[in-house]
Amino acid sequence: MKLDIEMVRDNLENSLISELKYYDSITSTNELALDIKDSLVKECMVIIAGEQTKGRGRLKRNWFSPQYQGLWMSIILLPGQKYKNKLSLLTLIGALSVHEAIKKMGINSTLKWPNDILYESKKVCGVLSQFKSVGDKINRVVVGIGVNVNQKEFDDELKGSSVSLRMIKDKKINKEKLLIEILNNFSIYYGLFKKQQFNNIIKKWKNEMDMLNKNITINSLDGKKHRGKVIDITQSGELKLKLDSGKNKTFIAGDVSIDKKFLKY
């Protein structure tokens, strides 16, 4: 079923969200959000799609976004230059907003740095933040959020690693209610971000992630693998590890795998 966008608009509370735009089928909400002309962009404008034909993951990976089965959306942010060292936090805010919304449904999900929400080690949501810059100035941030909502199953390569809210709850999920909850949460956390209350965001994240003090391997952007124990998330949203060599190192991005012995599922 298509999304009832009017109903969503009418039910946003104290929201920073300025506009909701719905497209039944597009390549990627992130692509569109990056391509919209500067003159038409507004802070906290949201692009939502019924389906994405070329949904994007990180590092040119694909994001499977079948018609009406999930929430596929991008939030456009214009935070300005003074936050340029804090932009990684926007990915964390996106994930936290979804995580809290699905927790409210009674689902015991966990956050995996930097962009995943997992349920029993399977991925229920992924976040992809992209930036548009002019010269060395970032003038637009697009926080893309994909939530698996009403899929009944996953095929082939995603079968063992992905899950939808419907599969978890064993019933069809109301996408409008979920979207309202996510956008209301996003407004709260982006409000904190703009008030520079970064520590409140980080504290929440650390509480909700299941990685502190666990041994992990991270494939970092330089293509190297590092192993160590997670000791912190920094005030800029980086992951801080105590490496096996004993040295501390922070990472701004990367793919993390948690050592098997720490996994319950």
Task: Please report, as ranges, the residues that interact with ligand BT5 according to CB under 6 A.
Answer: 28-30, 52, 55-59, 61-65, 72-74, 115, 123, 126-128, 144-146, 148, 158, 162
Nearer residue to ligand BT5 within complex by CB, 72 or 205:
72
Q: How far is the CB of 127 from ligand BT5 (least distance, A)?
A: 6
Nearer residue to ligand BT5 within complex by CB, 63 or 251:
63
Nearer residue to ligand BT5 within complex by CB, 217 or 242:
217
- What secondary structure does DSSP assign to the chain, as a single string? ----HHHHHHT--S----EEEEEEEES-HHHHHHHS-GGG--TTEEEEEEEESS-B-GGG-B----TTTEEEEEEEE---GGGTTSTHHHHHHHHHHHHHHHHHTT---EEETTTEEEETTEEEEEEEEEEEEETTEEEEEEEEEEEE-S-S---GGGTTTB--HHHHHTS---HHHHHHHHHHHHHHHHHHHHTT-HHHHHHHHHHHBS-TT-EEEEE-TTS-EEEEEEEEE-TTS-EEEEETTS-EEEESS-EEEE-GGG---
Nearer residue to ligand BT5 within complex by CB, 109 or 148:
148
Q: How far is the CB of 241 from ligand BT5 (least distance, A)?
A: 19
Q: How far is the CB of 114 from ligand BT5 (least distance, A)?
A: 9
In the bound complex, which residue of the shown chain has the CB atom lying closest to ligand BT5? 126
Nearer residue to ligand BT5 within complex by CB, 42 or 61:
61
Q: How far is the CB of 143 from ligand BT5 (least distance, A)?
A: 9
Q: How far is the CB of 194 from ligand BT5 (least distance, A)?
A: 22
